[in-house]
Amino acid sequence: MLSHDLMDAWTHLHSPVHRLDARVKLVCAVVVVLGIVMVPVAHNDLLLAYATLLVAASSLSMLPARWILGRLAIVAPFLLLGTVAAVLLPSPEALPLWVSLGGKCLLSLLTAVLLAGTTTSAELLRGAQALHIPRTLIALSGFAITYIAVLADEAGRMITAMRSRGRVRGTVRRLRVGGSLIASLMARAAERAERIALAMVSRGYRGTMPMLAQERVPAAQWAVVVAIAAIAGAVAWAGWSA
């Protein structure tokens, strides 16, 4: 069964990164991504500082390298196509620009993967709520996470049922069956969404989720945020002052 347990498959580990409060990790992730984006194209070598920081965090998190690389592989086709295009373009500025863009995308994705791999979905939502992110956005994110799991469950059952009825041969037939599966999946998702919405309204839902009480973050953990912000500030100063 595909569910939140699969989405949070490695959040049960007890690494130093896992033990950090979700609010600390969210702030650190935002600081790192902003720092990555601010690196000038003329100083792409400064991205190595963030790469080193994220690789060190990956090692401390004890997340399987195969799991991390599997999620980073999402951008592999785009990086490959962009590299080929940059090499073939006659402009001498094309390749450095693409290295900057591709490196920033990859490092930002790695930051998101580490955040998701070391923090449960519920902790992320509670942390975002504590950081005063708009409650509507948090509610929508929670619904999206829930429905991703629901759709994955439903799609898994439909694929299993299809395979149990025999192998579909021929490209045209596979496309036809795949299209019908997607249409059926969307119809079931809409029906379930309507039922859930009616159930929530009948239980008193008025557009916002209730606030959840949280413990205070230890001061020592905020020191991690200060250290990462100092690193990001130093890298930004090195890039823009040169």
Q: Which residues have C-beta within 8 Å of that of residue 53, sequence separation ≥ 6? A: 32, 228, 231
CB 65 within 8 A of CB 113: no
Tell me whether residue 9 is in a domain. no
Q: Which residues have C-beta within 8 Å of that of residue 46, sequence separation ≥ 6? A: 39, 40, 235, 238, 239
CB 110 within 8 A of CB 72: yes
Q: Which two tokens stand for residue 50?
A: 């963030």
Residues 117 and 161 in one domain: no
Tell me whether residue 219 is in a domain. yes
Q: State how many domains the chain has.
A: 2
DSSP H helices, the chain, are: 4-7, 16-19, 22-38, 47-61, 65-72, 76-88, 94-118, 121-130, 135-164, 171-202, 219-241
The mean per-residue pLDDT over the stretch 216-238 comes to 90
Tell me whether residue 10 is in a domain. no
CB 45 within 8 A of CB 102: no
Q: pLDDT-derived band of residue 234, with 50, 70 and 90 as boundaries? A: very high
Tell me whether residue 60 is in a domain. yes
pLDDT of residue 2: 45
Angle of helix 22-38 versus helix 47-61 axis, rounded to 10: 160
Q: Higher pLDDT residue, 174 or 47?
A: 47
Residues 218 and 155 in one domain: no
Residues 145 and 97 in one domain: no
Q: Higher pLDDT residue, 66 or 171?
A: 66
Range of the domain at 38: 21-129+213-241
Residues 37 and 99 in one domain: yes
CB 120 within 8 A of CB 12: no
Residues 34 and 147 in one domain: no
Residues 161 and 100 in one domain: no
Query: What's the CA gap between 102 and 15, in Å, rounded?
Result: 29
Q: pLDDT-derived band of residue 210, with 50, 70 and 90 as boundaries? A: low
CB 53 within 8 A of CB 153: no
pLDDT of residue 209: 64
**pLDDT exceeds cutoff 60 at 131:** yes
Residues 69 and 29 in one domain: yes
**pLDDT exceeds cutoff 50 at 127:** yes
Percentage of residues in the chain having pLDDT higher than 90: 33
Apex 229 CA angle, 10 and 66, nearest 5: 25
Q: Which residues have C-beta within 8 Å of that of residue 104, sequence separation ≥ 6? A: 36, 37, 39, 47
Q: Which two tokens stand for residue 51?
A: 């790469």
At 44-72, the pLDDT tens digits run 899 999 999 999 999 999 999 999 998 89
Tell me whether residue 6 is in a domain. no
Residues 26 and 117 in one domain: yes
Query: What's the CA gap between 32 and 38, in Å, rounded?
Result: 10
